[in-house]
Amino acid sequence: MKPCSTLNSDLSENVAYNNPSFQVYARRGLLSSYPNYSAMSHWHDDLEFIVILDGSMTYNVNGELIELTKGNGIFVNSRNLHYGFSEVHNQCDFLCVLLHPSLLHVTDDFYSRYVEHILYDKNHPYMLLNSDISWQSHCLALIADIYQNIEKELAPFMIMRHFLEIFEYLFSYVSPDTPIDSTSTSDLTPLKSMLRYIQGNYQNKITLVEIANSGSCCKSKCAAFFKKYLKESPITYLTRYRLSQSLNYLNATDKTVTEIAYDCGFGGASYYCEIFNKYYGMTPLEYRRKQQLSSAYK
């Protein structure tokens, strides 16, 4: 599966856009392609839109769980922690489209007056898109159209039209008057610092104390943040992140399983294979062969 991103210096996602010169990313994905049917929690400047084509999944936005079902979707605002998953391993076929807000920087005045109104609205980290509501259904159709036509030569013109129309709806229907939960927003700062530390040091041995220190908190507070917002322990997050990074090595290099295990911070090949099989239901070599066969038939 095509990776969504690498990391910026602050370890937010640096999205690997379909066309590097035009900041739009669109792909179709299956939840089963992620370890244990769960993506990694992440954040980026881009606005994210998910459309559920079939099945269902739970979406976590800053610790709040939202159920997404067939035909519906979600808009996730800029720089909010989010990921999709299924605890019961339900399959989900979905579209993911990322649109960078700089595409709407027509003029400084326009951007300040209309775009930043949405981007910096901490009251609305996300918005459900319900196909039973006319304007939201139209937004879902526009997102699907972006995905279906992303490779066409004149796609940027169509995407800009669609993005402006979607943003007009968001601007019209998002109210900035809801009180802000200041406790939740302040919690995200140390949590992001701890995620940055994990993502920047996953190749090395990392302890819970080191993770907690990176967020300027104690071990119990660290564990509480991860439990509240990511629904897992810091060590589980670290393990899943290491696994996700190992996929890049399996897909893009000829390194041995032992080399990959050490490169991704696992203590050895045996433990790596055990954990990999637990999350993926196959060995790393079986996964590599499966990906190679899949690529050969494309």
Q: Quick one: 66 exposed, middle or buried, by C-beta within 10 A (0-12, 13-18, 19+)?
A: middle
Q: Please tell me the CATH superfamily of domain 182-296, with its number.
A: Homeodomain-like (1.10.10.60)
In whole angstroms, give the CA distance from residue 107 to residue 128.
Answer: 29
Q: pLDDT digits over 243-276, tens only? A: 999 999 999 999 999 999 999 999 999 999 999 9
CATH code for the structural domain at 5-173: 2.60.120.280
Q: What is the pLDDT of residue 182?
A: 43
- Helix/strand number for the chain, H first, E second: 11, 9
User: Could you give the CA distance from residue 124 to residue 111 in angstroms, rounded to a whole number?
Assistant: 18
The predicted structure's pLDDT at residue 183 = 47
29 bridge partner residues: 94
pLDDT of residue 156: 95
3-state secondary structure of 14: strand
pLDDT digits (tens, 9 = 90+) for 211-252: 999 999 999 999 999 999 999 999 999 999 999 999 999 999
Q: What sign for the dihedral angle of Cα 279, 285, 290, 292?
A: positive
Q: Domain boundaries in the chain?
A: 5-173, 182-296
pTM: 0.83
Phi, psi of 103, deg, nearest 5:
-60, -20
DSSP string of 176-225, one letter each residue: TTSPP-HHHHHHHHHHHHHHHHHHHHTTS---HHHHHHHTTS-HHHHHHH
**CA 97 to CA 126: how far, in whole Å?**
14
Tokens 């949590």 — which residue?
191
